[in-house]
Amino acid sequence: MAYEGLSRDDLDNVRALNRVWLELEGAAELRLSATRMERLAATPFLLFSFCEHDDAKWSRLLGEGQQQDLLEHDEALSAELSALQTAGLGFLWELVRRNPYVARIISGASVRWCEQIAAATLVRVLDCARFKMIEPRFEQEISLQRRLLARGSALEREMRVFTQMGALQSMLTSAQTDTRLPAAACRMPQTARKVADDV
């Protein structure tokens, strides 16, 4: 099966969204010059996440009779963060419908998340931007985040590309999986016991 890869327009949109995210994070806090921020923004995936692996949250947000009052206590959003969430979700909604393969690569999203987003209207998805869901992509992986900030924005192109591709690979291979699989495996009879019973 042939897959259409990332287009120049896709990469330009990813870069623009990453640039806004890095500006919101703050150059001083990240300890990056404007030049390094621009290099890091060119990373070929989104440097932030929309909680793509939180199925319960997205089911609640996109569900028909969801109780919005449960979400009203979410953290207040600045106008800039709200605008970034709206732009990012709009971009992903369009991309999921046009090319879900690329949407999964740049966001690390699951098939389930892509199906949920694609099944919703644009208005419904953008309505979700009222609630804070955006967070740093590698918030739980501090060493990877530090490496990406330092080497993923380096002057040397080879080191920069190597680091960014390594982070992309980590994002795609360490995506949260269905927790029912380990649980199902635990319920299976142990091989050793089964062999012993047969002997």
Q: What is the pLDDT of residues 107-144, one digit of tens each?
A: 999 999 999 999 999 999 999 888 888 988 887 778 88
Please check whether residue 147 lies inside any domain of the structure: yes
Region of poorest pLDDT, from 7-11, 66-70, 153-157? 66-70
Which range among 2-6, 75-79, 158-162 has the greatest average pLDDT?
Answer: 158-162
Please check whether residue 46 lies inside any domain of the structure: yes
Q: In the predicted model, what is the mean pLDDT of residues 46-67?
A: 82
Is a pLDDT exceeding 50 seen at residue 64?
yes
Please check whether residue 3 lies inside any domain of the structure: no
Please check whether residue 186 lies inside any domain of the structure: yes
Write down the pTM of the prediction.
0.79
More confident residue, 196 or 78: 78
Q: What is the pLDDT of residues 171-195, one digit of tens each?
A: 888 755 443 334 434 444 454 444 4
Task: Please provide the DSSP assignment of the chain as one string.
Answer: -------HHHHHHHHHHHHHHHHHH-HHHHT--HHHHHHHHT-SS-SEE--TT-HHHHHHHHSTT--GGGTTTSPPPPHHHHHHHHHHHHHHHHHHHH-HHHHHHHH---HHHHHHHHHS-HHHHHHGGGS---EETTTT-HHHHHHHHHHTT-SSHHHHHHHHHHHHHHHHHS----THHHHHHHHSPPHHHHHHHH-
Please check whether residue 1 lies inside any domain of the structure: no
Region of poorest pLDDT, from 35-44, 52-61, 171-180? 171-180
Average pLDDT over the chain reads 81
Please check whether residue 2 lies inside any domain of the structure: no
The whole-number pLDDT of residue 7 equals: 87
How many structural domains does the chain have?
Answer: 1
Q: What residues make up the domain containing 29?
A: 8-198
The whole-number pLDDT of residue 191 equals: 45
More confident residue, 55 or 162: 162
Please check whether residue 121 lies inside any domain of the structure: yes
